[in-house]
Amino acid sequence: MEAVNSSSSISELDDISRLLDRPRLNIERKRSFDERSFSEMGIFEPVNSPGGRSGLETPVSSDRNSFEPHPMVAEAWDALRRSLVYFRGQPVGTIAAYDHASEEVLNYDQVFVRDFVPSALAFLMNGEPDIVKNFLLKTIQIQGREKKIDRFKLGEGAMPASFKILHDPIKKTDTVIADFGESAIGRVAPVDSGFWWIILLRAYTKSTGDTSLAETHECQKGMRLILSLCLSEGFDTFPTLLCADGCSMVDRRMGVYGYPIEIQALFFMALRSAMSMLKHDTEGKEFMERIVKRLHALSFHMRSYFWLDFQQLNDIYRYKTEEYSHTAVNKFNVIPDSIPEWVFDSMPLRGGYFIGNVSPARMDFRWFALGNCVAILGSLATPEQSAAIMDLIEERWEELVGEMPVKICHPAIESHEWRIVTGCDPKNTRWSYHNGGSWPVLLWLLTAACIKTGRPQIAKRAIDLTEARLLKDGWPEYYDGKSGRFIGKQARKFQTWSIAGYLVAKMLLEDPSHLGMISLEEDKQIKPVIKRSYSWTC
């Protein structure tokens, strides 16, 4: 403990040492978790699980409570282990898909940073942290390389979208080939990679209690480089992070350029995670000051301008336009006529969410599951907003979850709009892939959000749906159709994050104390600042 207190920054935002001092059932869980929900479901008080577990080949998924171990769990572990990638004999990640039947490999034989997150969480929850440590070190080493696209040199802090290991059986050498977007379809920049890396470093630290990895020179420097990129000053008038299309999970043109919710939620969570791991040395302190300022501005902006519920929608509907000066109510000059019809039809009286994007004269009202779940996990959403997001999911279950959890975004864009927004992308036709497709990987995020908000029944319902089909269908990458009934047109089978996402969801529900590694409790320093109070009954 001494070492922790002297060299790591123990911020008010997230206190690693408190976790290390205490059993793994930490404050976050106690506070936000509705014990009654669990006892109603027949799930008893979760047993504390020690950091390291033995029996690495055996899934620790247990039958100690009302859960019968589902046969899918063992199958999933086998499939997950088959996807392991080794560098000089050490596991360093999992490939995106182990699909031998697919003719086109494209880049699905690579270790994607974002795809590895659920794999990493599964291994951490199963008491196998070494692969996660290897991955974190390998990727931070890759960050240190010089990165160029044509003649343009990328920022030092840029993290790879993916990497692969080339084995030369003759020379007996292993070589790492990384992709920073220079090979990716559309040359998209993986803005989310750096954020996921920081979030994962915190998950590793929380789960193992090993602060030494985060304290290494490599990790401290890596974090600072990522932070330098996203905290740098520019021409911005907003604290949100400006991005190009395709810079995260939706890695194709889908109208997510500007200030997409996914990136803002990850940005917020990564900033808070970094706060808890940066050292209190001169460089670290300087970053911490910048982070605190940004977090205040970012939470204000997001909670005020991205939040939509019935009341807020009604206010926007009545907005005046062309307002000049500080007194403007309609700050971004959104023209009420631009609100799509479907928003009026599908906004329930109970519930709300962070919309997809906000920029001058533009509100993208689409629902994006990942951004909203991460907003709950990182406590970008206030407790009231988090509860409202879960209310919305319950109220709009058919649209947002359907028959295969979870829809990536809602609704799909079609016809003329699809032509303009996607550039006629045949992979992103309506209700397919990124355009309203259903992605099993999102199950772990939904489950984590459910547990944090004390709604485990919702997670259970989603897991039951998944268990009815996922294994039988060969762990597809995504499903198509308005309610997600059809295996996706071009979906890979044995998609690793579909497999790992299922395992993480199962383990979280069985032992909710795991939540602490991927969730941040509310920061009391950041005051809720929504002008219009969120209203349950309007």
Beta strands in 4-77 (DSSP E): none
Q: Which is nearer to ligand GLC, 367 or 534 (CB)?
A: 367
Q: Per rule CB under 6 A, is residue 249 in the interface with ligand GLC?
A: yes
Q: Could you tell me how many residues make up the chain?
A: 538
Give the closest residue to 129 by CA, choosing from 79, 200, 220. 200
Q: Which is nearer to ligand GLC, 157 or 440 (CB)?
A: 440
Q: Per rule CB under 6 A, is residue 115 in the interface with ligand GLC?
A: yes
CA distance 398 to 127: 36
Ramachandran assignment for 88, one of left (phi > 0), alpha (psi -120 to 50 degrees), beta (any other)? left
Q: What are the tokens at 503?
A: 């395992």
Q: Which is nearer to ligand GLC, 19 or 117 (CB)?
A: 117
Of 112, 163, 195, 353, the one binding ligand GLC (CB under 6 A) is 112
- Residue pair 429/418 in contact by the 8 Å Cβ criterion: yes
Q: Per rule CB under 6 A, is residue 15 in the interface with ligand GLC?
A: no
Q: Which is nearer to ligand GLC, 19 or 122 (CB)?
A: 122
Q: What are the tokens at 114?
A: 């974002």
Q: What are the tokens at 107?
A: 């880049």
Span 424-463, contacts to ligand GLC by CB under 6 A: none
Span 477-506, contacts to ligand GLC by CB under 6 A: none
Number of residues in contact with ligand GLC under rule CB under 6 A: 6
Q: Per rule CB under 6 A, is residue 407 in the interface with ligand GLC?
A: no
**Residue 114 CB, nearest approach to ligand GLC (Å):** 5
Of 24, 29, 114, 138, the one binding ligand GLC (CB under 6 A) is 114
Q: Which is nearer to ligand GLC, 305 or 502 (CB)?
A: 502
Query: Chain-centre distance of CA 35, in angstroms?
Result: 25
Q: What are the tokens at 51?
A: 């950091």
Q: Which is nearer to ligand GLC, 112 or 268 (CB)?
A: 112
Give the closest residue to 47 by CA, choosing from 536, 520, 523, 512. 512
**Residue 115 CB, nearest approach to ligand GLC (Å):** 5
**Residue 441 CB, nearest approach to ligand GLC (Å):** 9
Span 313-372, contacts to ligand GLC by CB under 6 A: none
Q: Which is nearer to ligand GLC, 28 or 262 (CB)?
A: 262
Q: Which stretch binds ligand GLC (CB under 6 A): 7-15, 62-70, 80-88, 108-116?
A: 108-116
Residue type at 296 in one-letter notation: H
Residue span 70-99 as binding mask against ligand GLC, x where in contact by CB under 6 A, dash where not = --------------------------x---
Q: What are the tokens at 177?
A: 């080939």
Find where tokens 């088959």 sit.
82
Q: What are the tokens at 384?
A: 């009231």
Query: Chain-centre distance of CA 447, in angstroms?
Result: 12
Q: Which stretch binds ligand GLC (CB under 6 A): 19-27, 112-120, 140-148, 465-473?
A: 112-120
Of 14, 99, 179, 251, the one binding ligand GLC (CB under 6 A) is 251
Q: Which is nearer to ligand GLC, 87 or 112 (CB)?
A: 112
Q: Which is nearer to ligand GLC, 114 or 303 (CB)?
A: 114
**Residue 492 CB, nearest approach to ligand GLC (Å):** 7
As a whole number of Å, the end-to-end CA separation of the chain is 50
Q: Per rule CB under 6 A, is residue 256 in the interface with ligand GLC?
A: no
| Chain position whose Cβ is nearest to ligand GLC | 96
Q: What are the tokens at 283?
A: 């460089």
E strand or H helix at 174: strand 173-179
Q: Which is nearer to ligand GLC, 197 or 305 (CB)?
A: 197
Q: What are the tokens at 3?
A: 């070492």
Q: Which stretch binds ligand GLC (CB under 6 A): 54-62, 110-118, 194-202, 371-379?
A: 110-118
* Residue 478 DSSP label: -
Q: Which stretch binds ligand GLC (CB under 6 A): 24-32, 109-117, 220-228, 302-310?
A: 109-117
Q: Which is nearer to ligand GLC, 59 or 501 (CB)?
A: 501
CA distance 71 to 481: 27
> How far lies 340's CA from each of 87, 317, 343, in Å?
50, 11, 6
Beta strands in 310-374 (DSSP E): 352-354, 357-359, 362-364, 367-368
Find where tokens 């971004």 sit.
332
Q: What are the tokens at 431?
A: 């209700």
Q: What are the tokens at 89?
A: 């004999």
Question: What does the binding site for ligand GLC look like in residue numbers (CB under 6 A)?
Answer: 96, 112, 114-115, 249, 251
